[in-house]
Structure 1
């Protein structure tokens, strides 16, 4: 019974990553950060052509799920993809 519970926890975690990446903007963010690590919000916003508030919501979701990590550099925060499952999924898709 313990193995089933652990297996379900693992499956739920993987499903959350898939769900997060299923949104086109979040998929684009992760893919772009894999190509150019250390990107800040201003650069992402100009590339994606979306409002800063919308971008911030997507970044927050990706950070909360442990897919991204932000590193402060002065007044900017540079983002990096840290989740290996997310990296593998995006590499497979593209």
Structure 2
């Protein structure tokens, strides 16, 4: 295995850890793992933070390839799609 490939893989894994390293984003992905798909309003009620703040965190998770959003009429339903994050959360929270 070449050094560049190892470096690229480590970089990718580090980016995932950085993305879920914030308490709000960690809470979001944990809730998506436990409760399935949710929209911003459902997350906002659980997190007790402004919708704009939730949206910013969702955007970071989406850019990192951890979640996906699917538009359903006037709302977007978010789901956890990254298998590495699912494994991390399962171990971290004994799920």
Normalising by structure 1, report the TM-score.
0.95
SS at match of 2:25: helix
- Residue aligning to 2:4: 5
Q: What is the distance in 2 between the residues matched to 1:21 and 1:65?
A: 9
Alignment gaps of 5+ in structure 2: none
- Residue aligning to 2:57: 58
Per-residue CA deviations over 1:13-50 (Å, capped at 9, x if unaligned) read: 00011111111000000000001111000010011000
Give the count of matched residue pairs.
Answer: 93
- Residue aligning to 1:49: 48
What is the CA-CA distance between 1:72 and the residue it aligns to? 1.0
- Residue aligning to 1:71: 70
What is the CA-CA distance between 1:5 and the residue it aligns to? 0.0
Alignment gaps of 5+ in structure 1: none
RMSD, matched Cα: 0.9
Where do residues 27-46 of structure 1 align in structure 2 (5 Å cutoff)? 27-46=26-45
What is the CA-CA distance between 1:73 and the residue it aligns to? 1.1
- TM superposition outliers: structure 1 runs of 4+ over 2 Å: none
